[in-house]
Amino acid sequence: MPDAIDAFIDALPKAELHVHLVGSASVPTVLELARRHPDHGVPTTEDALRELYTFRNFDDFIRVYLTVNGLIRDPADVRALALGVARDLAAQNGRYVELTVSPYTHVQLAGMPAAAVTEALDDAARTARDRHGVRVAYIFDFASEYGAEAAPATLDHALTHPPRDLVGFGAGGTEKARASCWDAIRDAFTAARAAGLHSVPHAGETTGPETIWAALDELGAERIGHGTSAVRDPALVERLRAERIPLEVCPSSNVATGQVPGLAAHPLPRMIEAGLNVTLNSDDPPMFGTSLSEEYRRVAAAYGFGVTELADLAAATVRASFLDDAAKSELVAGIGAAAESAGKNPGE
């Protein structure tokens, strides 16, 4: 990669819309927790942990993710992880993040009080802004494999003990598991939207376009997590393009979980060429051996993206966020200034 592009990526102000709290735990943090809780089966050496993070398929990734999630035992762990995300983003010139948290696993499965989890998240957001200059907002989601119980429980937490900066409601995990609990999921999304939360479900990551259609038509999706299978359906591409529905694309994640064989086969370039509203994200960066800046480097190298294309991706991510208009304008202006300093302007 040319040094100028590398330097531009470092200087580029960034936002991230699709990154998970537990999946963002750094390797040292996971090792610390694993040594603190040796009964949980997570490796306590770095080499063994990195071996654990070599996924055979998406189901294997979910198994490992839930295993690591089981190490989060008290609200102090939740706070530390959220603050770690902000610290890591600040080191990459990240300015804003919508961090996905799955409170069901902390409250119902680990036994933490809902109010204590919320207090930890609020404290992390305040400290992140004061200490690192990073604004943190939250999305509450649940794993679809727990949907019958987790969807209403997550909704209840969102309505009765919401973090101050809660902006969205989502669903992740195994998409094919949703069929058995679809009514509970749809009802939870309907109530969340009525309460003013944005609908941001994962869809079309491990399934076909039909899951994206259902997210749009029945869950009122305003953004789609992943959405990479959309390119298989011309009618869906047309709808997403016409309605400017943002897609939270996470290339290294899709490679690591076996959804595509490599970056060369990833549909991201085709999605952009089709006029879709693409944002760039890291998903679970330590688990996938990446970071937000590294995602920009990888797409630059894989697809020959230069300053203009990378700045456009960064600006699209900001515009797709739930930031207020003034903050969006300020961040987009910063992206433009970085591009101009590098000799180009977004959209040029």
DSSP 94: E
Query: Which parts of the chain fold into alpha helices (H)?
Result: 3-11, 27-36, 46-52, 58-69, 75-90, 103-104, 114-127, 147-160, 182-194, 209-218, 234-243, 251-256, 268-273, 292-303, 307-319, 325-341
Cα angle 41-42-48, degrees, rounded to a multiple of 5: 120
Among candidate residues 205, 222, 248, 309, the one labeled active-site is: 205
User: Could you write out the DSSP letters of every residue in 129-146?
Assistant: IIII--EEEEEEEEEGGG
Half-sphere exposure of 337 (CA within 13 A, CB side): 9
CA distance 206 to 253: 11
Rounded Cα distance, 184 and 189, in Å: 9
How far apart are alpha carbons 121 and 106 in whole angstroms? 12
- Is position 205 annotated as part of the catalytic site? yes
**Residues facing residue 170 across a β-bridge:** 141
Under DSSP, is residue 315 helix (H, G, I), strand (E, B) or coil? helix
The tokens 């919508």 sit on which residue? 98
Give one DSSP letter per residue of 168-212, joined into a string: EEEEES-GGGGGGGHHHHHHHHHHHHHTTPEE--EESSSS-HHHH
In angstroms, the Cα distances linking 270 to 63, 124, 264, 273, 319 are: 31, 38, 11, 5, 21
| Cα(181)–Cα(167) distance, integer angstroms | 24
Give me the sign of the Cα torsion angle 174, 144, 162, 227: positive
Cα separation, 127 vs 239, in Å, equals 40
- Residues taking part in catalysis: 205
